Structure 1
Amino acid sequence: MSQVGSSWRTVENVPDTPFGFALPGGQPPDPNDPQQMQQFLAGLQQLMAASQTGSGPVNWDLARQIATSTLNTEGDPAVTAPDRELVVEALRLADLWLDPTTSLPSGIVTTAAWNRNEWIFHTMDVWRKLADPVAERMVAAMGDLIPPEARAQLGPMSSMITALGGALFGGQFGQALAKLATEVLSAGDIGLPLGPGGTAALIPANIRGYGEGLEIDQSELRLFVALREAAHQRLFGHVPWLRGHILNAVETYARGIRVDREAIEEAMRQIDPRDPSSMQGVALEGIFAQEDTEQQRAALRRLETALALVEGWVCHIVETAAEGRLPNAVKLAEAFRRRRAAGGPAESTFAALVGLELRPRRLREAAALWTALTEHRGVAGRDALWGHPDLLPSDDDFADPVAYAQSQLDLGMLEGFDDLGKAPEEGGDPPPQS
């Protein structure tokens, strides 16, 4: 979408609008009518009291409440004692099967079987880190859109209008999280370290739902999901720079985001100050003017490459571990590859609310690259590339995985690292880029 070069409506275009732009609820009150102004301000204050943003750009308490309320309405099957036992056994066996496939040790400290509300509770902190930078830009843009001459007339209400952005974002994000919570199969299902470090978690109700159309035994599907979860735990648990690398790419992209003024104005007009629940019906899709800067494009390429490499590595070692052990290993691998390549459960959440897709593009090429590296350099040589971001394949290397795997790469450059994945600041200067 190209940026819409619109501006706030002028007083001439909207004669009855005293401040030159649309306020919440559509037509604003007559500033010369004390009763109308008092009623409007009282309603707006009530709305803000119900949706205070707190210490950040987003009201995450509101997001959690809406997500929980939505799940309670739509259903959140309880996790039974047998469910927990099956999850523990699946993760234990999966971790054993992965030992020969990677030089990274187990990353599982504890195991868990979550219901959908528990998934939201345990992943909320990371969602905040991912969404706050973008939400901050949106909320700031709402304040910037108020003409300077109007701010003096609005007085304290100016900051209240800006704060509505945080409430809007929180309410919509809560609804999106509720939808996402019905689809994810594990803590690391979307390729991000969303849960607490070292906690491998599966969502039994969602695994059962996903398996209904696959015609595969539930125990086999559960074990395959456990293999993927255990693989994610190893990677993010023993490559400490990876989490920050991905979050930083999101933040860099967010810093350059611009907001479509007409879309913001339209969203604000849909809010009824007398009805706090009206915020839940506001659609924020299309609020971002997506003429990316070069810095944003570079951040996006870095993020997409990192996500593809993470997912490709997980696919490769999981398929290696499952081969000859699970009767439907090939069918399951293809089903999950398509599921992730099509965008996965996180795509709609981020595309609509953050202006950013987390789809691992070029997933098949990334998996082929890790396969070629294993064949030519062995398990240890392949996993040594996770020692530093500069050692990882670039997007250009995806074009010819075999050529890249056969290229000269002096793994002796990693000698400065005491442990695989140790950050440069912990062990001297970073190694040169290959």
Structure 2
Amino acid sequence: MSEQPSGAEQWRRMLESMLGPDAAAEAMRALESSGMDLSRLESMPGMPSDPSQFAAAMAQMRQVLSADDDGGSSDWKVAHDVARQVAHLGGDPAVSAAQAESARRALQAADLWLDVATDLPPSGGPQQAVSRAEWVERTLPVWRQVADPVGVSVAQALATTMGTDGPGLPEGLDPAAAGLLGGVDMGAMVRKLGRLSFAMQVGQGAGTLAREVFGATDTGLPLLTDPAVLLVPANLDAFAEDLDVPTDEVWHFLAVREAAHARLFTHVPWLRSQLLSAVEQYARGIEIDLRQLEDAVRDIDPTDMEQLRSALAGGIFSPERTESQERALSRLETILALIEGWVEEVTAAAVAPHLPHAVPLREMLRRRRAAGGPAEDTFRTLVGLELRPRRARDAALLWAAVTRELGAAERDELWSHPDVFPTAEDLDDPGTYLSRRESSRAEGADVDEALTMMLEGNLGYSEGAREHDAARAADSAAAESAGSPEQAGPEDDEDPERG
């Protein structure tokens, strides 16, 4: 029976596997000459007791740090893999030919029905049925755009909390351990791990969403970079199983909602930029609760990705919001609510002549939106942002009143520019929106009339002044002409009777 090697021998073997025999021998001599006892490493916070585990962890960290990190791309490659794995949980069947045909028919009918309910034309993009994993592929770039600013803040806060804010080793770590770390910059490593852990959390949230969404617009955010209309057949069928409504009706109803969203995002040029800029403004102002983060990571091994992910998922954002964040959040909630309210109202008008169960389906979607789900909880924890449009009912009432009083054409004209778009104050009292809008327009007309009168008065005065000036110029010209040699005046020639 072979004898278990001593602690020093284990570390020597580990160093040889990492650095080679000569460099390992030199490292051992340096450690011994410093008076360091290798057995002390086992009691260091976050240090694995087994040298082979430590070697594996360091090798993993070098691989992470040496990965191509063009703007965090390596982090999001991992997030992409996580999202796909989560989307596959419970199965992710490929889209069958029958499902693809059902989606095509439903989306074609949706465009025909919507042509009667709105003046906004079809999106013009491809109409596709996709699997859950394909949904991840299509939407993850926008999730990255939304979440990246928060990931940077999380990474920096994590490095500060763990005492690795600057380059080199963390505070309190024996400098003799530097030889074992092989020159790893612990600050860079922790920041990298923080960004990676956060990206993986976003990937997990996106993968969870992929198992719940009906298309690309369920969150209210424009998750596609190019115009398209998507349906996820596996999720549509799963939703229809629990309803006492024919599956075909469910497909048509949800197809109309998806196509209505697509028309908005395609033909309202300012909408996408307004939404994403509000999210980015909110995210960039996020502050990390360092005390709460310190409690979360106090007893974890920072090289253990699972422990780090769990710690970051526990809620680390400061509950206090800046004034800029409050403005961004108010603008975001208002736009999301008005999008959802418009889609709800237009969908109801489009499907009413065709689907017998349109009203219960509308109410079912409202309850589903109000209840939320695990994916929304994930993103609320990660970004501190509520994706559900809480004021969608108020927005639906507003759009219904506008449609009733002014018609669909003038209702849709309100999307033409942010300056004429309803505001959060309008959602406070949607029943009086039209009367207040009319009063505002009347006041604006009065101002325009006053300005017109002022301008016309100024023009009239200027014309009179010009006529007067012209008359004076004519008199002056006549006087000059009288004083010429051919027509001398009394001022030019002497009177002969004068002595």
TM class by smaller structure: 0.7 to 0.9
Deviations along 1:375-426, one digit per CA (max 9) or x if unpaired, are 1221111111111112111111123323212332659x9xxxxxxxxxxxxx
What secondary structure sits across from 1:165 in the alignment? Answer: helix
Offset of 1:165 from its aligned partner?
0.7
- Moved runs in structure 1, 4+ residues, more than 6 A? none
Kindly indicate whether residue 167 of structure 2 is the aligned counterpart of residue 138 of structure 1. no
Alignment of 1:228-247 (within 5 A): 228-247=257-276
Question: Which whole-Å deviations, capped at 9, do the CAs of 1:318-376 have from their partners, x for residues lacking one?
Answer: 00111131010000011112222333665213201111111101111100000111112
Q: Is the partner of 2:294 in helix, strand or coil?
A: helix
**What does residue 113 of structure 1 align with?**
129
Q: Which moved more, 1:90-99 or 1:293-302?
A: 293-302
Q: Call closer, same or farther: CA 1:60–1:324 in 2, change over 3 Å.
A: same
SS at match of 1:201: strand
Instruction: Report the secondary structure of 2:92's partner residue.
Output: coil
Q: Is the 8 A contact 1:46 1:273 kept in 2?
A: no
Decide which moves more: 338-347 or 44-53: 44-53
Alpha carbons 1:190, 1:346 under 8 Å: kept: no
CA contact (8 A) 1:172 1:280 kept: yes
Q: What letter is aligned with 1:396?
A: E
Per the TM alignment, residue 111 of structure 1 is displaced from its structure 2 partner at its CA by 0.7
Give structure 2 stretches of 5+ with no counterpart.
1-42, 171-183, 445-499
The code of the aligned residue for 2:149 comes to P
Q: Aligned runs of 1:1-16 on 2, under 5 Å?
A: none
What residue number does 1:176 align with? 205
Q: Which residues of 2 match residues 12-51 of structure 1 at below 5 A?
A: 27-29=45-47, 40=54, 43-47=57-61, 49-50=63-64
SS of residue matched to 2:408:
helix
Q: Output the TM-score relative to the length of structure 2.
A: 0.71
For residue 229 of structure 2, the aligned residue among 188, 197, 200 is 200
Structure 2 residue aligned with 1:56, among 52, 62, 71?
A: 71
Distance change (3 Å), C-alpha of 1:232 and 1:110:
same
Could you tell me which residue of structure 2 aligns to residue 129 of structure 1? 145
Give ranges in structure 1 of 5+ residues lacking alignment: 1-24, 414-434
Larger-Rg structure: 2
1:86 Cα deviation (Å)?
A: 0.4
Which residue identity lines up with residue 390 of structure 2 in the other structure? R
Other-structure match for 1:222:
251
Q: Tell me, yes or no, if structure 1 residue 342 matches structure 2 residue 371.
A: yes
Report the residue type matching 1:63 in the other structure: A
> Which whole-Å CA distance do the structure 1 matches of 2:280 and 2:265 have between them?
19
In structure 2, the CA distance between the partners of 1:139 and 1:153, relative to structure 1 (3 Å rule), is closer
Whether 1:357 aligns to 2:386 is yes
Partner of 1:420: none
| Amino acid in structure 2 at the alignment position of 1:138 | V
**Partner Cα separation in structure 2 for residue 356 and residue 330 of structure 1:** 30
**Cα deviation, residue 273, structure 1:** 6.0
* Map of 2:176 onto structure 1: none
**C-alpha displacement of 1:74:** 2.6
Q: Does 1:287 align with 2:305?
A: no
Query: Tell me, what secondary structure is at the counterpart of 1:74?
Result: coil
Match of 1:21 in 2: none
CA offsets 1:67-122 (integer angstroms, 9 cap, x no match): 22233343112210010000001000001100121111111321110110000000
Shift of 1:64: 1.2
Return the offset for 1:26.
Answer: 8.6
Partner of 2:110: 94
The amino acid across from 2:392 in the alignment is L
1:135–1:187 distance in 2 versus 1, CA, 3 Å: same
- For 1:307, the aligned partner's letter is L
CA contact (8 A) 1:343 1:360 kept: no
* Structure 1 counterpart of 2:195, one-letter code: G
Q: Distance in 2 between matches of 1:125 and 1:149?
A: 29
Query: Number of paired residues?
Result: 384
The worse-fitting range, judged by mean Cα deviation, of 65-74 and 264-273 is 264-273
Q: Which moved more, 1:278-287 or 1:392-401?
A: 278-287
TM-superposed deviation, 1:278: 4.8
Q: Quick one: which of 425, 434, 438 aligns to 1:396?
A: 425
Percent of residue pairs identical: 44
Q: Distance in 1 between matches of 2:259 and 2:373?
A: 19
Name the one with the larger helix percent.
Answer: 2
Pairs within 5 Å for 1:264-343 = 264-269=293-298, 272=301, 276=305, 278-343=307-372
Name the CA distance, whole Å, in 2 between partners of 1:299 and 1:153.
39
Task: Tell me if the contact between 2:155 and 2:192 (Cα under 8 Å) persists in the aligned partners.
Answer: yes
Question: 1:41 Cα shift?
Answer: 7.2
**What's the TM-score, normalizing by structure 1?**
0.81
Q: Is the 1:91–1:227 contact (alpha carbons within 8 Å) kept by the matching residues of 2?
A: yes
Q: CA RMSD in A?
A: 2.8
1:368 aligns with 397
Match of 1:387 in 2: 416
State the structure with bigger RCO (CA 8 A, min sep 6), 1 or 2.
1
TM-aligned CA deviation for residue 42 of structure 1:
5.8
